[in-house]
Structure 1
Amino acid sequence: MDWIFGVGNKNKNDPKNISQLLGAALPPPDGTDPNKSGVPGAGPGSSGGNAGSGAQTAYRFDSTALERAAAAAKELEKSKYATQAFETIMAQEVTKRKELELQGKAIEAQIEDSKSQQIRQQHEERRKTLKEEEKIQERKSHLEDRLARQRHDDQLMQSRKSQEELLRLQEESVAKQEQMRKASMEYEAELRHKNEMARIEAELKGKAKIDRENRDLNLEMMREKAKESRETVLEAIKTAGSVVGSATNALLTDRNKLYAAATGITVAAAGIYVAKNSVGVAARFIEARLGKPSLVRETSRFTAVGFLRNPIKTTKMLVGKPKDPLEGIVLKPTLEERLRDVAIVTKHTKKNKGFYRNILFYGPPGTGKTMFAKSLALNSGMDYAIMTGGDVTPMGRDGVTAMHKVFNWANSSRRGLLLFVDEADAFLRKRSTEQISEDLRATLNAFLYRTGEQSKKFMLVLASNQPEQFDWAINDRIDEMVEFDVPSLPERERMVRHYFDKFVLEPSFDSKSRIKVEELDYGEKCTEIARRTEGLSGREISKLGVAWQACAYAAEDGVLTEKMIDERVADAIAGHAKKVIWETDQHAVSYKSAAAAASTPV
């Protein structure tokens, strides 16, 4: 038990050591804590800082507590668990020491945390201060900038006012100078007019005076001139009469001269008549062989006028090699296959000198009917001639003659002629229901007469947007019908790519051209445009390419941007929508008119 309290064996019975140990282990009898600051054994109201008060409470020793402690120590020594109790006490002491160390470290961590928090607060305050300073600096710069702009605007305003004032003064000065100049010119003109009037008056007075003085002399001169003229005329009449009389007398008295004169007059009249008719025949022959009828708008056939106007183009068409009939034409695959069959049939018909078939191309406008007709003729080695039905109606009575001239000219072709009649429904209308003039009816009859049989000289190709208006006799003359429809998505994409290359990309590669294109994905853009342009015809898509080229020419830097391309596409789509509405309204009006005509009693 002695070593438990840290006392040696020599002093184990020393009551002083035991009391010290027990005093350290047990709390004071007055309940105060000896570990706290203050005087040990002081009352609850006293502390170590009250040393100057002069009042201390005396320590009172309790002997019963010491006796109890000694009894407890003896009992503990007698117990078999003394060693374990000591180890438990030592472990508790170690645990308390560690707890105290942990509390100290926690206090130190709290102190460090408070310091860090204080540093962070200082940094946050500093950041807020810097931010406020930046805001103040920014406001200051904005204010200075606004003041500078205001000063600049004031200077400009002042300069503008000064210039306006100077211009006003200059205009006033110019106006005054112009007014002075006008006044001077008016004054000069007035003086000149007065001087001219005075001069004319003086001249008239002098001339009148001279005429009055020379009146007798003038009358005498006039009488002499009249007398001389009369004598000259009489002498000429006498001379001509004597000559004619002697010639007539000699001719009547001499039979040979009379026969010779009659023969000469007869030969001259016959020569004039023959020359007149031969010139007409030659003119008709030249017109049929070398000329071009008035109804034919365009032809690849050789003409003298066409050769003089475009010799290179005419030569190329004459000696050029046959080309693919679908070159540069984008159509649906099924339609392309059928048109290739038509081209093959026409080419072999031309080679074997067989009878040509008459074909009808029908469908919406701008779907490639005219383009294929030209390519078909050139691929087959034939000439083509294009006429339009709208030119027939205005000719009136001359329509029949003009129609016969066209077919006479077509039959004179050595290579074979493809006669393409565009907008054929304009004059080949139904005679039973349509109200047409007698002249147009006669022209239609002439057309039917010249196309009643198949021909080895020409091939008839009709094109129409409204084939239902044809006369039944025209339908009887058609051997094959081909429908040209608006392009679908794949065809539109091919067309957009083709015309984008033709009108935009190819000119941009030319160093002499000012067209440039903004950097973009052309393939994806063409696909997008093809999706957006549903319902547009081939002609409308080709006009899109021309519109893109025009936008590039109109731009200051010559750069065609994606925005310009989209704007032109949007305009084309909106225009097509309006055309569709107009066409619908037109069909509705036509239907109403037909219904009203049908309901009207005859």
Structure 2
Amino acid sequence: MDNSLLSRFFGGKGADLPDIKLDPADLPPPPTPPETSKDTKNKPGDKWSNFDPTGLERAARAAKELDHSANAKEALELARMQESTKQVEFQGKVKEYEMNLEHLKMDQIKMQGEERRKTLSQDAKIKKEQAEYQDLLARRRYDDQLKQQSLMNEDNLRRQEQSVEKQESMRRATLEHEMKLRRDNEMARAEAEAIARAKADRANKDIRREEIKLEAAEKRETVLESIKTAGTVLGDGAKAFLGDWDKITTAAFGLTLVAAGVYTSKNAIGVAARYIEARLGKPSLVRDTSRFTVLEMFKHPIITTRRLLSHPEDALKGVVLRPTLEERVRDIAIATRNTKRNKGVYRNILLHGPPGTGKTLFSKKLAMHSGMDFAIMTGGDVAPMGREGVTATHKMFDWANSSRRGLLLFVDEADAFLRKRATEKISEDLRATLNAFLYRTGDQSNKFMMVLASNQPEQLDWAINDRIDEIVEFSLPGADERERLVRLYFDKYVLEPAMNTKQRLKLGDFDFSTKCSEIADKTEGMSGREISKLAVAWQAYGYASTDGTLTEEMIDERVSEAVAQHKLKMDWLKHHSGDPSVVGAPDTSDALSPKSTDYASTTLSKN
């Protein structure tokens, strides 16, 4: 028997078995297949009908041969070891199978837990929906009850009003009836009294006539006696006076002294009044001033004290400017303050630009920064004064020269009366006033500083331009300036009142910073005054709301309305001027883009 046969029998490799040599003659002959007959094929076989026993026979012969072999024990030991190895491998596979079963059980438990958790969450969701539905039904029932109660209240109120109206109509009818009866009674009584008086007068007519005649006669005799007595006394006095020359001289000297005293007092009072008016009073052309009059000191002592104790502040505090313009105006403010300290000669400035760009407020800040008094006059006030304009102009400059601290005279709308004298539109009175103004400003002064503001500087008279030392342009704000202005006025008119617990204003839940940036983009072409009015409109809308809350939708609505109104104003201005490039009228066809980004604005209040 060769090794391959043993390896097939023991399930191992032939190289591991002992070398057993068998003679082929010793092997049994191969089995012959059983003969099959037609009857056998046709009969149904049992389970052992197809069994071939030749394999068992060969195995038995091989076992006998192994028993007689010298290496039989080693072969059996090797077979036993192979069998134990197979058993160990089988046990490992059994363990692995058990572990797989455990893993399957654990996965099944996890799946069951997940299914249970999903079931619980679904039950909780269903319960939540049921609770929400029950709450919705309850709210609906409550709303229905409120509506029914409101309808009942309205019905009761309507019934009460009808009852009150009915009672009022009844009371009114009763009063009218009583008044009618009272009037009828009074008329009847008056008529009866008149008839009785007429009867008494007719009965006493003769007696009254005699009484009147006697009273007239007595009065005439009394007047005649008085005239006679007065004539006698005056005649005797005149004779005595004319007869005494010393009395005549004394009387003439006394009348002369009285006349001289009256004339001197009148002129002295006029001079004193003009002095007081020039030093202490406020001229008629001055609209507003920081100088104190005696009357204001007595009327507002607290405000006067605060002004006296106030310190100079930064000229650009609260002012939003382009960096280059900010540097320029700061230099002007520093130069003006140093000029005032050193008692030098002031320089005159022209501020020009569209309306609402902060020219007036910047002039006030400049005066306060320099420690000077300021006075504001409007060019439109000069023309209605007519011939009195010249006198008023001289009084104003006399008053300005009397200031001890120095005066900053701000002339708003200067082109209203300082326009070119060659035009035919200017009247003789206005031309005379302009000449007086030019005469008083011909030389630079160390008493007052002149600041002119105009929307159309090209209309100013050339002599006025000759008196200007510095020209500053205040234009519409750019994107960065608008955003700073929106934040400034949003803090002043919305955030600060909302943080004050005593006020009613509250803010909705939205991003303030992002909203301010959006508003700055939408308000292109608008001036600082328009942006400040927009912030005031937000505050008013918040106060007017039901609960005092200012929401983002309300802000957006007011911004849209303000942008539309600004565009309409610009269309009016361009239509009136006939030139899209007119000052203060940016081209609205190009998203209301301004021609410049210069801007000045301040939060200084009028107080």
Deviation at 1:463, TM superposition (A): 0.9
- Secondary structure of the 2:315 match is coil
Note the 1:337-356 alignment, pairs <5 A. Answer: 337-356=327-346
Task: Kindly indicate whether the alpha-carbon contact (under 8 Å) linking 1:363 and 1:464 is maintained by their aligned counterparts in 2.
Answer: yes
Q: Answer yes or no: is the 8 Å Cα contact 2:378–2:412 preserved in 1.
A: yes
Aligned 8 A contact 2:526 2:566 in 1: no
Aligned-pair distance for 1:322?
2.9
Counterpart in the other structure of 2:476:
486
Query: Residue 279 of structure 1: which of 260, 269, 285 is its match?
Result: 269
Q: Which residue of 2 aligns with 1:413?
A: 403
Which residue is equivalent to 2:184?
Answer: 194
Letter in 1 for 2:577: S
8 Å Cα contact 2:348-2:467 kept in structure 1: yes
* Structure-2 residue corresponding to 1:334: 324
| Residue identity in the other structure for 1:258 | I
Which residue of structure 1 lines up, in the alignment, with residue 240 of structure 2? Answer: 250
Letter in 1 for 2:566: K
Deviation at 1:386, TM superposition (A): 1.0
CA contact 2:522–2:563 (8 Å) conserved in 1: no
1:263 to 249, 253, 260: 253
C-alpha separation in 2, matches of 1:467 and 1:31: 138
In the alignment, the residues of structure 1 paired with residue 447 and residue 261 of structure 2 have an alpha-carbon distance, to the nearest angstrom, of: 37
Q: How far 1:294 sits from its partner (Å)?
A: 0.8
Q: Take 1:338 and 1:409, find their aligned partners in 2: how far apart are those partners?
A: 31
Aligned equivalent of 1:477: 467
Distance 1:145 1:361 in 2: 67
Partner of 1:205 in structure 2?
Answer: 195
- State how 1:409-558 maps to structure 2 within 5 Å: 409-433=399-423, 435-508=425-498, 510=500, 512-517=502-507, 523=513, 525-555=515-545, 558=548
Residues 242 and 546 from structure 1, CA distance in 2 versus in 1: closer, same or farther, beyond 3 angstroms?
Answer: same
Partner of 2:208: 218
Q: Is the 8 A contact 1:533 1:573 kept in 2?
A: no
Contact (CA 8 Å) 2:374, 2:409: kept in 1 or not? yes
Deviation string for 1:501-538 (max 9, x for gaps)?
Answer: 44444455555455555566655554554444443333
SS in 1 for 2:266: helix
Indicate the larger mover: 412-421 or 149-158: 149-158
Partner of 1:181: 171
Contact 1:544/1:568, CA 8 A, preserved across alignment = no
- Quote how far apart the aligned CAs of 1:246 are: 1.5
Determine helix, strand or coil for the equivalent of 2:287: strand
Cα shift at 1:356 = 2.1
Identify the residue that residue 312 of structure 1 maps to in structure 2. Answer: 302
Q: Is the 8 A contact 2:538 2:558 kept in 1?
A: no
Preserved contact between residue 32 and residue 43 of structure 1 (Cα < 8 Å): no
> By how many angstroms is 1:207 displaced?
2.1
Structure 2 residue 355 is the aligned partner of structure 1 residue 365: yes
Per-residue Cα deviation, 1:239-264 (whole angstroms, up to 9, x for no partner): 22112212221221111111222222
Q: State the alpha-carbon separation in 2 of the partners of residues 227 and 461 from structure 1.
A: 81
Q: 1:452: Cα distance to partner?
A: 2.1
C-alpha distance in 2 between matches for 1:191 and 1:320: 73
RMSD of aligned Cα (Å): 5.6
Is the Cα–Cα contact under 8 Å of residues 300 and 314 in structure 1 kept in the other structure? no
> In the aligned structure 1, how far is the partner of 2:380 from the partner of 2:547?
44
* 1:586 counterpart = 2:573: yes
Report the CA distance shift for 1:283/1:185 in structure 2 as closer, same or farther (over 3 A): same
Conserved 8 A contact 1:30-1:43: no
1:441 shift after superposition: 2.3
| 1:333 CA drift (Å) | 2.0
Alpha-carbon distance change, 191 to 42 in structure 1, aligned in 2, over 3 angstroms: farther
Instruction: Tell whether the 8 Å contact from 1:430 to 1:471 is kept in structure 2 after alignment.
Output: yes
Q: Deviation of residue 420 (structure 1)?
A: 0.9
> Equivalent residue of 2:351, what SS?
strand
Deviation at 1:290, TM superposition (A): 0.3
Partners of 2:413 and 2:454 within 8 A in 1: yes
- The answer to whether the 8 A contact 2:477-2:527 is kept is yes
Distance in 1 of aligned mates of 2:130 and 2:37: 73
Against the structure 1 CA distance between its residues 195 and 518, is the aligned structure 2 distance closer, same or farther, given a 3 Å change threshold?
closer
- The superposition leaves residues 142-199 of structure 1 with CA deviations (integer Å, 9 ceiling, x where unpaired) of 9999988887788777767766665666555545544543443344334333332332
Match of 2:392 in 1: 402
SS of the aligned residue for 1:265 comes to helix
Task: Give the match's secondary structure for 1:420.
Answer: strand
Using the size of structure 2 for normalisation, the TM-score is 0.70
Confirm whether residue 288 of structure 1 aligns to residue 278 of structure 2: yes
Task: State how 1:99-248 maps to structure 2 within 5 Å.
Answer: 170=160, 173-248=163-238
Residues 408 and 243 of structure 1: is their aligned pair in 2 closer, same or farther, counting only changes over 3 Å?
Answer: same
User: What corresponds to 2:16 in structure 1?
Assistant: none
Paired with 2:298 and 2:38, the residues of 1 have a C-alpha distance of 140
8 Å CA contact 1:403, 1:446 repeated in 2: yes
Partner Cα separation in structure 2 for residue 173 and residue 418 of structure 1: 70
Distance 1:305 1:215, change over 3 A: same
Q: 1:412 to 1:60 in 2, by over 3 A?
A: closer
Q: Which runs of 5+ in 2 are unaligned?
A: 10-29, 62-103, 580-607
- Cα 1:149–1:490, aligned 2, differ >3 Å: closer, same or farther? closer
Residue 387 of structure 1 pairs with residue 377 of structure 2: yes
Any conservation in 2 of the 1:421–1:463 contact (CA below 8 Å)? yes
Residue by residue, what CA displacement relative to the aligned partner does 1:415-455 show, whole Å, maximum 9, x if unpaired?
Answer: 32211111111211223346223322222222222222222
Cα gap change, 1:157 to 1:29, in 2 (>3 Å): farther
**1: CA distance between counterparts of 2:313 and 2:377?**
23
Change (3 A) 1:463 1:193: closer
Q: Given the alignment, which residue of 320, 325, 337 partners 2:315?
A: 325
Moved more, 204-213 or 232-241: 204-213
- Residue correspondences, number: 546
The 1:210/1:482 distance shift into structure 2, 3 A limit, reads: same
* CA distance 1:28–1:310, change in 2 (3 Å): farther
C-alpha distance in 2 between matches for 1:365 and 1:420: 15
Aligned pair in 2 of structure 1 residues 391, 555: CA closer, same or farther (>3 Å)?
Answer: same
**In the superposition, relative to structure 1, how do residues 152 and 388 fare at CA in structure 2: closer, same or farther (>3 Å)?**
closer
Other structure's SS at 2:190 match: helix
Amino acid at match of 1:589: H
Residue 172 and residue 281 in structure 1: after superposition, are their counterparts in 2 closer, same or farther (change >3 A)? closer
Q: 1:450 to 1:141 in 2, by over 3 A?
A: closer
* Distance across 1 between alignment mates of 2:400 and 2:39: 142
Mapped partners of 1:580, 1:539: distance in 2? 15
